[in-house]
Amino acid sequence: MMIVIAAAVMGTIGLIFAIFLVTANSRFAVETDPRIAKLEETLPGVNCGGCGYASCAAYAEAVAQNGEKIDLCVVGGEDTTREVAHVMGVKVSDEQKDKLVAVVFCQGDSEASAFPGVYKGIPDCAAAVYSQDVAKRCKYGCVGLGSCVTACPFDAIHLSPTGIPFVDAEKCTACGNCVTACPRNLIEIHPLKHDAFVYCKSLDPGPIARKVCKKACIACSLCVKAAVADENPDAVAVSNNLARVNTENYTAKPEYGAKCPTDCYASNRNSVRKDEVMARQAAAREKSAVEA
């Protein structure tokens, strides 16, 4: 008899708690925007951070609730933008955007740069720089330990046999992880169609820069003179012992580096499959123009 009474009491208590939980759940439930779940399904789910948010879920919430831009997913590109637009009930332009890729501004590999020592520390570029135990003599050049490679979630950047990172234009999504990983700020994001840069960031005077790296900019200004002769004086400028291409108003041409004595002003360096990607982009634009 005692067992029956105990079971009845426990059952009654359980029923009371169940009713309480159901009531609390219905009264205090937080309504969620159903679009967030749909957006999460639409986004790639790689959580690369290229959109500026820590995860795809955070970006989805920002789009649905805070009116964030719908075209920030660099991984999914235009296809994902259109799917996000469909979920949000908005229209997007049919204009084809230029593909962005990472660009490595250094050619100081093991064949061009002076390596007076051998680095034996932690295989991390930042650790080598902060410990001042870098094997390469150029204090502005690529350390070559591959931190950018490790940071890339898309297998889009690798070290060449001579120790300089190269970017696969096919796989690169311009997420910016490699940019953050480089302690010497040698990687930048630029439109794929921009094909001429000064691939050096050394601020050393010419004689010193040339001594530590055969590919260093020596601020000879020959590229600047070529641009001026082409009536394009704003394309390239020299300051602090370094020639720089104007990347904000890009008008540089590969031929401006024809007389560069160190071949630091060049085109399409440290990149692979770039021509293939550009050809597909051109075909897509031509198709869109015909359909329009």
The model's confidence at residue 90, banded by pLDDT at 50, 70 and 90, is confident
Say whether both 209 and 65 belong to one domain.
no
User: Is the model's pLDDT at 29 over the cut of 60?
Assistant: no
73/155 same-domain check: no
Of 144, 262, 142, 267, whose CA–CA distance to 209 is shortest? 262
Domain span holding position 132: 100-273
pLDDT at 118: 84
To the nearest 10°, the Cα dihedral for 163, 168, 174, 176? -20
* Residue 153 binned pLDDT confidence (cut-offs 50, 70, 90): very high
Residue 24 has pLDDT above 70, yes or no: no
- Residue 52, pLDDT > 90, answer no
Stretch 140-163: mean pLDDT, rounded? 95
User: Same structural domain for residues 104 and 230?
Assistant: yes
On whether the CB atoms of residues 206 and 220 are closer than 8 A, the answer is yes
Residue 8's pLDDT band (cuts 50, 70, 90): low
Cα(216)–Cα(112) distance, rounded to whole angstroms? Answer: 9
Any domain includes 133: yes
Burial classification of residue 240, based on how many CB atoms lie within 10 Å of its CB (0-12 exposed, 13-18 middle, 19 or more buried):
exposed
Say how far apart CA 95 and CA 288 lie, in whole Å: 8
Tell me the range of 96-105, 222-231, 283-292 where mean pLDDT is highest: 222-231
Of residues 267 and 289, more confidently modeled: 267
**pLDDT of the residue at 158:** 97
pLDDT at position 32 over 80: no
pLDDT reported for residue 27 = 63
Claim to verify: residue 136 and residue 236 sit in the same structural domain: yes
Q: What's the predicted TM-score (pTM) here?
A: 0.80
Choose between 189 and 22: higher pLDDT: 189
C-alpha of 91 from chain center: 26
Top pLDDT among 42 and 199 is at: 199
Do 70 and 210 reside in the same domain of the chain? Answer: no
- Does any domain span residue 95? no
Please report whether residue 13 resides in a domain.
no
pLDDT tier, 112 (very low <50, low <70, confident <90, very high otherwise): very high
Regarding whether 227 and 84 lie in a shared domain, the answer is no
* CATH code for position 144: 3.30.70.20
Q: Is residue 48 part of a domain?
A: no
**Residue corresponding to tokens 């869109």:** 288
How many structural domains comprise the chain? 2
Pairing of strands 236-239, 196-198: unpaired
In the structure, what pLDDT confidence band is assigned to residue 46 with cuts at 50, 70 and 90?
confident
Q: Are residues 176 and 254 in the same domain?
A: yes
Asked whether the predicted pLDDT for residue 93 surpasses 60, the reply is yes
